[in-house]
Chains A and B, each alone.
Chain A
């Protein structure tokens, strides 16, 4: 074979080079392979089968449908999608709240006018309903986190606000944070009992993974267990809720990505259940960050954007996407970031923002870390206090409470 032909390097030449084998094989034909075509086909097929660039897009779009319901003669809309509409029927409205204060618009035609029974679940124990300048106290007899109001509503458009009287008052308060219950759902009442034992907590914020597989029975058990908790639990979802249809979460509890304010502090929950933010969620977060600039701001999501133990990669699918989010949080002067997913407790800084991973809800605990079930207690100080002066940014302190 001439050298020049060798340098041309075609498959056929190689086969020619193997003429020896042709001779030995006699009548055995040698079929020229087409490796390039085979490789290209295999690569494209594998990539097409595997790749999904925007896995959270549908879920984010479904978020937009939360908090809206309509009948022929009545419709309801919860501002910011901060509650799931569980029932809208004849003169009856039932919501599952994802925020300490709700603004609800109820539009009624003549046939829907009358006395309405409005039930809000997962509500603050001291919540009242205000509409048309009148304040309605909850009916007696319900659990602390279930409030039922009986309100006379004539035809027309009604703006209802459900929340505690001090919802907009700037003063210090405390909340708990919890994530990663999963397989510990049968015993999570023990964690809830420990939370109940902490005085003056207003509510619990959650970083996802309520269930192990997102089964309906798990959600039902979670709700039954929540009956033991004396304060509401506002949470985003985690990757384990995505093992089943995400609508099971959205229909029951509301949006996976949302923001609320309470007593001058903004809380932003972002759905990172598939290890990244959907572009739509990223847009929302950008808007929420801009809107809350200058306010004390707590950001919560299930999966840490960047795992503090980088080797583990318990983080966003793309570290660069995670760092982009952190850069935006830092630029917006977010004061505290809370994550779950990793079943341990880690306190660290990311992009200069205090960060806590708290996956102590009872899911299979990380070994060798010296901590099992736990939750965080966060003291928020929207106005300067001695503690806040020491820890500026509205976060007066974060304590770890062990359950075991």
Chain B
């Protein structure tokens, strides 16, 4: 656990804690009154202690990275026995005097540049050298994968035989490379103060939403509805999106198989890492365009909490996904085309306390509402970017807001009732 092999990042993200949660069958936040098992206590970083001269410590802490006391502090017991923040979130926040404003600004600047090329620059400036080193290693691993995948595709002139797995490797590599940049900025900016933690997938949910679409040709308002239910390791969902003018309609069904990760539960959980397989089918009809699309797809989706990489990255996560699909298009003259789809994407996100989460994401597909971004020289090779936030409003009610920018701007606001939520 002390020295993370860079190449083990993906395995690490879904590793021991998920397995532990699986064995226990419940990854909800631990009872704060219960003793923390030794295996759950992260080893305090000591391999590269922070330079004392550059990072003065609090008077109560003789060293910058003090060893955890035997009675590892945990969250205070909630009077009602409600789950609280997981122990890991608390004990990894070692006492430390905050940096000066000037240093904070310098760290943010360094995280942006040269951090865009040299991962961990912001963490280094803020005094988190171990975090900086790990971000650098993981970022370099992502960059190497990007270069390998991109190199294979580019050098072959996008040869059919190398598109897969070349592009997925490129995407996954970039999906590791980019989040490390954002994570470094987050650390430099003091994002750890948010102290976020994951929430479980609700046992069932209902959502109504409204979507605004503006593409080069038109603007549309759409109304959506979705239902989702979790049955053990299997999750089922269905949704529809209808144009307010009746010009287009979309229906989706999907099944999700949870391979690793917390079971469906209400409220906060201790471990948000998860791995799932998603199979989905979609029907889309657009009257003015005179096209009907039927899509089938299969995708693997991994979420990894970055605290496994370094405790200072607690509260952040990355998501990677890859998959394949088939799209059958029916045209005005009744003819059909059947084409393959490459699915893939990545996201970096942060938990908003225990309220929910927000993420920035990239989606490589071009067949959805957003399509691919106009990217000057990179046009036709780039998918869409977006931001998504899900926040619990009160009780079982949650809000989902999303903005995706590709060939079109797509903004969605959804109100969700989360069954089983407390």
A interface residue numbers (CB < 8 A to B)? 1-3, 6-11, 13-15, 17-21, 24-26, 28-31, 33, 35-36, 39, 42-44, 46-47, 50-55, 239, 242-243, 274-276, 278-279, 282, 303, 306-321, 323-324, 326-328, 330-331, 333, 341-344, 349-352, 364-369
B405 within 8 A of A: yes
Q: Are B394 and A318 in contact (CB under 8 A)?
A: no
Contact A331 B290 (CB under 8 A): yes
Please state if B341 and A311 are interface contacts (CB–CB under 8 Å): yes
Q: How far is the CB of A294 from chain B (nearest CB, A)?
A: 15
B41 within 8 A of A: no
Cβ–Cβ contact A319 & B217, under 8 A: no
Task: Looking at the assembled complex, report how far the CB atom of A175 sits from the nearest CB atom of chain B, in whole angstroms.
Answer: 26
A42 touching B372, Cβ below 8 Å: no
CA distance A320 to B368 in the complex (A): 8
Chain B, 72-89, CB within 8 A of any chain A CB? 73, 75-76, 78-80, 82, 84-85
Known: A8-B394, A21-B90, A35-B350. A366 touches B85 (CB 8 A): no
How many chain B residues touch the partner (CB < 8 A)? Answer: 97
Tell which of A11, A313, A333 has the most Cβ of chain B within 10 Å: A313
Report the minimum CB–CB distance from B324 to chain A (whole Å).
Answer: 8
Residue B132 CB within 8 A of the other chain = no
Q: Which of B158, B331, B376, B395 contacts A326 (CB 8 A)?
A: B331
Chain B residues closer than 8 Å to A31, beta-carbon distance: 190, 193
Report whether B84 and A17 are in contact in the complex, using a CB–CB cutoff of 8 Å. Answer: yes
Residues of chain B within 8 A (CB-CB) of A365 are 157
Cβ-defined partner of A311 (8 Å) among B194, B342, B350: B342
Chain B hits for A364, CB < 8 A: 157
Known: A36-B391, A307-B339, A312-B167; 18 extra A-B contacts, CB below 8 A, are: A7-B394, A7-B395, A14-B195, A17-B84, A36-B358, A47-B405, A50-B405, A51-B405, A312-B163, A312-B342, A316-B371, A316-B380, A319-B327, A320-B289, A323-B293, A327-B289, A327-B290, A366-B158
Tell me if A330 and B331 are in contact (CB < 8 A): yes
B291 in the interface, Cβ–Cβ < 8 Å? yes
Of chain B, the residue at the smallest CB distance from A283 is B217
CB <8 Å contact, B78 and A9: no
Q: Which residues of B contact A278 (CB under 8 A)?
A: 216
Q: Quote the shortest CB–CB distance from A311 to chain B (angstroms).
A: 4
B374 within 8 A of A: yes
Pair A321/B407 contact, Cβ less than 8 Å: yes
Docked pose: A50 CA to B422 CA in angstroms? 39
B95 partner residues in chain A, CB cutoff 8 A: 21, 24-26, 28
Contacts of A306 in B (CB 8 A): 329, 337, 339
Residues of A within 8 A of B386 (CB): 43
Q: Tell me how far the C-beta of A268 lies from the nearest C-beta in chain B, rounded to whole angstroms.
A: 17
Interface positions of B (Cβ within 8 A of A): 58-61, 73, 75-76, 78-80, 82, 84-85, 90, 93, 95-98, 155-164, 167, 190-191, 193-196, 214-217, 267, 286, 289-291, 293, 324, 327, 329, 331-333, 335, 337, 339-342, 350, 352-356, 358, 360, 364, 366-367, 369, 371-374, 376-377, 379-382, 385-387, 389, 391-395, 403, 405-409, 421-422
Contact B353–A14 (Cβ < 8 Å): yes
Complex-state Cα separation, A364 to B153, whole angstroms:
12
Pick from B82, B267, B341, B393 the residue with the most CB of A within 10 Å.
B82
Taking A7-B394, A274-B379, A323-B289 as contacts, is the C-beta distance between A330 and B333 under 8 angstroms? Answer: yes
Cα A165 to Cα B163 in complex, Å, equals: 49
- Can you offer 22 A-B residue contacts whose CB atoms are under 8 A? A9-B391, A14-B195, A20-B76, A28-B58, A43-B386, A52-B374, A55-B379, A275-B379, A278-B216, A282-B217, A307-B339, A311-B167, A311-B342, A312-B160, A319-B366, A321-B215, A323-B329, A326-B329, A327-B289, A366-B156, A366-B160, A367-B156
Closest to B217 in A: A279
A232 to B369, CA, bound (A): 41
**Which chain B residues border A343 with CB–CB below 8 Å?**
157-158
Shortest Cβ distance from residue B293 to the other chain A in the assembled complex, whole angstroms: 7
**With the chains together, A44 CA to B379 CA distance in Å?**
21
User: What A residues does B394 contact at CB under 8 A?
Assistant: 7-9
- What CA separation (Å) do A11 and B363 show in the bound complex? 29
Question: Are A318 and B380 in contact, CB atoms less than 8 angstroms apart?
Answer: no
A279-B216 contact given A309-B340, A321-B371, CB 8 Å threshold: yes
Across the interface, which residues of B come within 8 angstroms of A11, CB to CB?
194, 352-353, 355
Chain B residues, Cβ within 8 Å of A10: 353, 355
Q: Taking each of A14, A39, A54, A303, which has the highest tally of chain B beta carbons within 10 Å of its own beta carbon?
A: A14
Q: Is B193 touching A20 in the complex (CB atoms < 8 A)?
A: no
B331 contacts which of A36, A52, A351 (Cβ < 8 Å)?
Answer: A351
